[in-house]
A and B are shown apart, each in its own frame.
Chain A
Amino acid sequence: MATGYFFSHRHILGIDHLSPEDIDHILNTAESFKEISARPIKKVPTLRGNTIINLFFEPSTRTRLSFEVAAKRMSADTFGISASTSSATKGETLIDTARNIAAMHPDIIIIRHAFSGSPHLLARHVDAAVINAGDGTHEHPSQGLLDMLTVREHKLRLDGLKIAIIGDILHSRVAHSDILGFTSMGSQVYVYGPATLIPPDLDKLGAVVCSSLKEAVQDADVVMTLRIQKERQNDPLIPSFREYAQCYGVTREVASWAKPDALIMHPGPINRGIELMPDVADGSQSVILEQVTNGVAVRMALLYLVMGNS
Chain B
Amino acid sequence: MARSVVIKNGRIIDPVNDVDGIADLLILDGRIAAPGDAVPDDVECIDVSGCWVVPGLIDMHVHLREPGEEYKEDILSGARAAASGGFTGVACMPNTRPVNDCRAVTSMILTQAAQASCRVYPVGAISKKSRGESLAEFGEMKEAGIVAVSDDGLPVRDSQLMRRALEYASDFGLAVISHSEEPSMSHGVMNEGVVSTRLGLKGIPAAAEAIMVYREIALAEYTGQQVHIAHVSTAMSTELIRSAKARGVQVTAETTPHYFTLTDEAVDGYNTNAKMNPPLRSEKDRQAIRQGLADGTFDAIATDHAPHSILEKEVEFDQAMNGIIGLETSLPLALALVRDGHIDEQQLISLMSTNPARILGLEAGTLAVGAVADVTVIHPDLGFTYTEDQVVSKSKNSPFLGWKLQGRAVLTVMGGAITHNLLQ
Residues of A within 8 A of B (CB): 16, 88-89, 93-95, 113, 115-118, 120-121, 135-139, 173, 176, 199-202, 204-205, 233, 235
Contact = CB atoms under 8 A, between A and B. Distances in A.
Nearest to A170: B197
Contacts of A121: 270, 315-317
A202 B269 contact: no
B234 to A, nearest CB: 14
A200 B319 contact: no
Interface of B: 187, 192-194, 196-203, 269-270, 314-319
A135 B200 CA distance: 9
Contacts of B202: 137
Contacts of B196: 199-200
B264 to A, nearest CB: 11
Contacts of A116: 199-201, 270, 317-318
A83 to B, nearest CB: 13
A94 B270 contact: no
Contacts of A176: 200
A202 B318 contact: no
A137 B200 contact: yes
A290 B198 CA distance: 28
A200 B187 contact: no
A89 B319 CA distance: 8
B316 to A, nearest CB: 4
Contacts of A95: 314-315
- Which 8 A-B pairs give the minimum distances between C-beta atoms? A138-B200, A117-B270, A201-B194, A116-B200, A137-B200, A115-B316, A199-B197, A115-B318
A202 B200 CA distance: 11
B226 to A, nearest CB: 35
A120 B269 contact: yes
Given A116-B270, A117-B317, A121-B270, A200 B200 contact: no
Contacts of A117: 199-201, 270, 316-317
Given A200-B193, A201-B197, A118 B203 contact: no
B197 A205 contact: yes
Contacts of A139: 200
Task: Tell me the interface secondary structure of chain A in the complex.
Answer: mixed
A136 B318 contact: yes
B269 A93 contact: no
Q: Which residue of B199, B269, B314, B316 has the most chain A CB atoms within 10 A of its CB atom?
A: B316
A88 B315 contact: yes
A95 B269 CA distance: 16
Contacts of B269: 120
A276 B316 CA distance: 34
A89 B320 CA distance: 10
Contacts of B316: 88, 94, 113, 115, 117-118, 121
A183 to B, nearest CB: 13
Given A93-B315, A95-B314, A118-B316, A136 B194 contact: no
A253 B50 CA distance: 78
Contacts of A137: 200-202
A173 B314 contact: no
B187 A233 contact: yes
A202 B315 contact: no
A204 B194 contact: yes
16 contacts: A88-B319, A116-B201, A116-B270, A116-B317, A117-B199, A117-B316, A117-B317, A120-B270, A136-B318, A138-B200, A173-B200, A200-B192, A200-B196, A205-B194, A205-B198, A235-B187
Nearest to B267: A117
A124 to B, nearest CB: 9
Nearest to B203: A200
A70 B303 CA distance: 52
B232 to A, nearest CB: 21
B311 to A, nearest CB: 8
Contacts of B319: 88-89, 115
Nearest to A122: B316
Contacts of B192: 200
A205 B200 CA distance: 12
A303 to B, nearest CB: 24
A117 B319 CA distance: 11
A201 B192 CA distance: 9
A139 B192 CA distance: 18
A194 to B, nearest CB: 16
A176 B196 CA distance: 12
Contacts of A235: 187
B263 to A, nearest CB: 13
Given A117-B270, A121-B270, A233-B187, A200 B197 contact: yes
A138 B267 CA distance: 14
B183 to A, nearest CB: 12
Contacts of A200: 192-194, 196-197, 203
Contacts of B187: 233, 235
Contact of B193 (A115, A118, A120, A201): A201
Q: Which residue of B196, B200, B270, B317 has the most chain A CB atoms within 10 A of its CB atom?
A: B200
Contacts of B197: 199-202, 204-205
A45 B317 CA distance: 39
Given A116-B201, A136-B318, A173-B200, 20 more contacts: A88-B315, A93-B314, A93-B315, A94-B315, A95-B315, A116-B200, A116-B270, A116-B318, A120-B269, A120-B270, A121-B315, A137-B202, A138-B200, A138-B201, A139-B200, A199-B197, A200-B193, A200-B197, A201-B193, A201-B194
Contacts of B198: 16, 205
Contacts of B193: 200-201
B203 A115 contact: no
Contacts of B203: 200
A137 B197 CA distance: 9
A94 B320 CA distance: 12
A120 B98 CA distance: 36
A294 B1 CA distance: 77
Nearest to A198: B197
B362 to A, nearest CB: 39
Nearest to A201: B194
Nearest to A202: B197
Nearest to B187: A233
Nearest to A94: B316
A135 B202 CA distance: 13
A3 B71 CA distance: 56
Contacts of A173: 200
A275 B88 CA distance: 62
A142 to B, nearest CB: 16
B309 to A, nearest CB: 12
A215 to B, nearest CB: 21
